[in-house]
Amino acid sequence: MKAAPFDYSRPSSVKAAIATLESADGDGKVIAGGQSLVPVLAMRLGRPSILVDINRIPGLDSIDKVAGDTIRVGALVRHADLLEQKHIPLLSEAAKWIGHSAIRTRGTTGGSIAHADPSAELPVVATALGATIGVEGPAGKRIVSADDLFVGPLETSLAESEIVTSVSYPVPERWGFAEFSRRHGDFGLVTVSVAVVGGLVRIAIGGVGAVPIRPLEAESILNGSPVTDARIAEAARAAAGDINVVSDLHASAEYRVAMTEQFTLRALTQAIGNRMVGAN
């Protein structure tokens, strides 16, 4: 199948891109890396009247250290560049698991965050780190926390004609990442990311719900108490108990629950095994 006809625009500023989206009255779509949008168009699951190509907008493709210990990643930073950066090794590890090298060369941070696939790596890591998303739209600029951005599968709280311009991540004191996929390059059946930020453990789990899940009970088992192997195991069990999955073509619900416990255990052990949280 081929995409339905559409107009094409390549603005040179965020403001011009927003104006073009506004004039399409909700019927326009941003295109960045095209790695998720083009298949959608080709299968005619979407028929936007105009594509707004943001690839030539300057200033959206850098990775910068900003105030405090925060790294701002521009919306047009490719997964391949995220893999290479040294500021936050957790981002590098997560990027390694995204598709294959051709996809990582084109796919962008802003595209992955805005597409909001519940199995995608970057939304999970953004949630674990407590990232904030820089957004610009007809009403101006705003900052949204990752916890508030993802509202459903392929659904965000972005308003019409809003564009993701950057994602800012705190540098974590410690981190862990564990993913299970059947073949290299597949979306994860279960993806777990752990980050210790400001002495507190945050956990996010992808592939087991409509959005990346934060198992708050598991976090509270670990925060404020000395971390022991027994507590880590208890937290992993609590995380698995916090998810509500149904069986699908890829895995039964029981399998995903078991994998959630196992991979949460791995990510937690990598991040905080044999350590006292906050004692770094």
Rank residues 72 and 174 by Cβ distance to ligand FAD and give the closer one: 72
Decide the pairing of beta strands 7-9 and 50-53.
parallel
Q: How far is the CB of 85 from ligand FAD (least distance, A)?
A: 17
- C-alpha distances (whole Å) from 36 to each of 61, 115, 143, 248, 273 are 19, 8, 24, 21, 36
> How many helices and strands, by DSSP H and E, does the chain display?
11, 13
Q: How far is the CB of 252 from ligand FAD (least distance, A)?
A: 21
Rank residues 159 and 276 by Cβ distance to ligand FAD and give the closer one: 159
Q: How far is the CB of 241 from ligand FAD (least distance, A)?
A: 26
Give CA 221 to chain center in angstroms: 25
Q: How far is the CB of 201 from ligand FAD (least distance, A)?
A: 24
Rank residues 74 and 176 by Cβ distance to ligand FAD and give the closer one: 74
Tally the C-alpha atoms within 13 A of residue 121's C-alpha that lie toward its C-beta: 27
- Binding to ligand FAD (CB under 6 A): which residues in 19-58? 29-37, 39, 54
- Binding to ligand FAD (CB under 6 A): which residues in 237-276? none
Residues touching ligand FAD, count (CB under 6 A): 30
Evaluated on CA atoms 119, 56, 52, 38, the torsion sign reads negative
Q: Which residue has the tokens 């906050």?
A: 278
Q: How far is the CB of 203 from ligand FAD (least distance, A)?
A: 19
Rank residues 185 and 226 by Cβ distance to ligand FAD and give the closer one: 185
Q: How far is the CB of 31 from ligand FAD (least distance, A)?
A: 5
- Binding to ligand FAD (CB under 6 A): which residues in 80-119? 98-99, 103, 106-108, 110-112, 114-115, 117
Rank residues 108 and 193 by Cβ distance to ligand FAD and give the closer one: 108
Decide the pairing of beta strands 190-197 and 63-66.
unpaired
SS3 annotation, 205-228: EECCCCCCECCHHHHHHHCCCCCC
CA distance linking residue 30 with residue 16, whole number of Å: 12
String marking each residue 131-170 x if it binds ligand FAD according to CB under 6 A:
--------------------------------xx------
User: Using CB under 6 A, which of 82, 90, 120, 194 touches ligand FAD?
Assistant: 120
User: Using CB under 6 A, which of 187, 236, 260, 272 touches ligand FAD?
Assistant: 187
Asked if residue 193 lies in contact with residue 120, where contact means CB atoms within 8 angstroms, the answer is no
Largest Cα span, the chain? 60
Q: What does the block give as tokens for 29?
A: 């779509």
Residue 159: DSSP 8-state: P
Q: How far is the CB of 128 from ligand FAD (least distance, A)?
A: 14
Residue 72 interacts with ligand FAD (CB under 6 A)? no
Asked if residue 71 lies in contact with residue 78, where contact means CB atoms within 8 angstroms, the answer is no
Rank residues 31 and 222 by Cβ distance to ligand FAD and give the closer one: 31
| Binding site residues, ligand FAD, CB under 6 A | 29-37, 39, 54, 75, 98-99, 103, 106-108, 110-112, 114-115, 117, 120-122, 163-164, 187
